[in-house]
Amino acid sequence: MSPDRLHGGLEARSVGAVFFDASGASIQALHKVSAQFLSGHLTAIVGPSGSGKSTLLHALAGIVVPHQGEVRFGATVVSQLGERQRDAWRLAHCGMVFQDFRLIDELDALSNTLLPAQFQRARLPEVLRERARALLARFEVPLRAGPVARLSRGEQQRVALARALLLDPPIILADEPTASLDPGNGQRIADELHAMARAGKTVVAVTHDHKLSALADQVLRMTAGQVLLPQPADTASMVA
């Protein structure tokens, strides 16, 4: 059993998160959210727009810092790390697929996929370039020269997924990763995420896509910044 599993994997404990609007008024995006995300499990986070799904994902990644509670991964209390340590932790542990992709429009697909490695080291080993090409081929992204801005939304989404997987992270946090895909590609990406969980990774996906949530070991339903207790329909789809 891995040390992370022994220590409970990735975990949110009573996490509260607050934003401030332009006039300084506070918006409570998360209210005491507690949840466990075990390695080897695919968790789907579902719920209406504005319910805090992306905020929870960003809190798990150490991008949003909770004003109360904590995020832990194994023995590391991620939410208590300083900003640079959190950035380093995220780079080493998390593959992120952002809801808005966060690709660099001017760069091509391969350069975007290689970005996380470029933060890590000045000179890229050829093996990483090969891995990036293989990931793009696996997701059927055309290896065209030219900026990703000229790719379709669905192609851009798959570049974002390839980038998230480049460094083979133990945690994958994906925000609506099939939202821009046709049903066939959506099913393939859902199957890929499920297979990664089966291979031992901690996979958390915010999704409105039934193809993806049907494969989940755990479905967290959010409303107004809170996680609702599991409904019988969710427990029925849980894998023992």
Ligand X SMILES: Nc1ncnc2c1ncn2[C@@H]1O[C@H](COP(=O)(O)OP(=O)(O)OP(=O)(O)O)[C@@H](O)[C@H]1O
DSSP E strands in the chain: the ranges are 10-20, 26-37, 42-46, 68-73, 76-77, 94-97, 171-175, 202-206, 218-223, 226-227
The continuous run of DSSP H or E covering 196 comes out as helix 183-198
Euclidean distance between CA atoms 142 and 172, whole angstroms:
23
CA 113 – CA 71 distance, rounded (Å): 27
Which lies closer to ligand X via its Cβ, residue 23 or residue 49? 49
Q: Which is nearer to ligand X, 53 or 93 (CB)?
A: 53
CB of 75 to Mg ion, least distance (A): 30
Residue 177 touching ligand X (CB under 6 A):
no
Strands 26-37 and 226-227, by their bridges, are unpaired
Residue with tokens 């859902």: 190
Task: Report 3-22 residues binding ligand X (CB under 6 A).
Answer: 19, 21
Angle at 46 between CA 19 and CA 165, to 5 degrees: 85
55 belongs to the binding site for ligand X (CB under 6 A): yes
Ranked by CB distance to Mg ion, the top (closest) residue is 54
Binding part of the chain for Mg ion, among 50-58, 110-118, 136-144, 225-233 by CB under 5 A, reads 50-58
**116 to 155: interface string for ligand X, x by CB under 6 A:** ----------------------------------------
Partner touching 170 among Mg ion, ligand X, none, CB below 5 to 8 Å by kind: none
Task: State yes or no: residue 74 binds ligand X (CB under 6 A).
Answer: no
**Interatomic CA distance for residues 142 and 117, integer angstroms:** 21
Tell me how crowded residue 210 is: count the other CB atoms within 10 A of its CB.
Answer: 12
Taking contact as CB under 6 A, which single stretch among the options 44-52, 75-83, 128-136, 189-197 is the one that binds ligand X? 44-52
- Distance CA(57)–CA(204), nearest Å, equals 8
State the DSSP string of 116-172: HHHHH-SS--HHHHHHHHHHHHHTT----SS-GGGS-HHHHHHHHHHHHHTT--SEE
Q: By CB under 6 A, tell whether 99 contacts ligand X.
A: yes
What tokens appear for 56 in the block? Answer: 């929870």
**Any contact of residue 51 with ligand X (CB under 6 A)?**
yes
Residues 24-43 that bind ligand X (CB under 6 A): 27, 29
Stretch that binds Mg ion, among 7-15, 72-80, 97-105, 154-162 (CB under 5 A): 97-105
Q: Which is nearer to ligand X, 28 or 120 (CB)?
A: 28
CB of 21 to ligand X, least distance (A): 6
Residue 50 in contact with ligand X, rule: CB under 6 A: yes
Residue numbers at the binding site for Mg ion (CB under 5 A): 54, 99
Residue numbers at the binding site for ligand X (CB under 6 A): 19, 21, 27, 29, 47, 49-55, 99
